[in-house]
Structure 1
């Protein structure tokens, strides 16, 4: 594991990210907090592109918990059957829709504990919703962020929780809100797993990765 980049270097790194993309956006399409929650839950072990293709028509007819329950599990499966683990995900979406109605007045709650009480909603999913919809500086660590954090020294850690904590503890507070999106987009398009594009990397000057590509 590489060392943790010092605070002054992290300031430069995130200033560079902010300069390149002042308002980074998530790539999952959604209409409201509920459709965002469903989209993120569906995205586990699936691509954002694949989820978007499956949910465009779905969200036109089921954009609230009530409408999702009315649609029903079998009809939901027809919409999302191109996504991995679609049967289990459909069960969870129907269950979480019922719980949102019964326990939260049909609204998506804005606390991590409440969100993770819903079927199919883990810490990462909850953090994405808290970040994207409620603008809370929650850090949803996926495989991209885990790789970037450990490869560059931005937020090294042995597991997702320690990487999440490294972001919260070390990244300057003014960059916390967008840190998740900057890191995931950097990992998705530049600091890729097999062939990182170090030659066009905006933070290559400070990255600690010892095997930089030409």
Structure 2
């Protein structure tokens, strides 16, 4: 009996120690994001699609070969964040020269609302394209009449990466975007997310000899 009680006591003590360790681990503070600086402060920039942008919802893929957006780096000191990303306002990206994977279908892409792009310094530098509610709508005509609305109920962040260079590049690879789809036969009405792929070259339009750079 003595050995049994001793074993039980040791087991309970070990369980208690594990429980305390779990509580301690779960209570560990989440590390803050590092500092970010986007420069040159106050400069305007232009993001131009290189290659093609694709938006895939269900079995339907829309491909566009022309896309442009403009924006500006916040003026100092707003271009620096000691513990997080720096956000810049941008114009709603335009998309044209678009085709659909469905034969006999013509897509039209419209954008609206207050868009922003946020940069967080790191390895790699991460970028988030912030889409307002209903900020991008794809409508198709022809053999299938569909409407694909991005960020249908709440603003959405589209995850990407940034690479400093000449020019710098903003890349989205299989980024997930919430959507709602309405329409008849041939429309992917069961899709709730789409996949976005695009690469943009970002140039400084205030001083073309300079580059838009993200650092600490």
Superposition TM-score, scaled by structure 2 size: 0.22
Bigger-Rg structure (1/2): 2
User: Which structure has greater helix proportion?
Assistant: 1
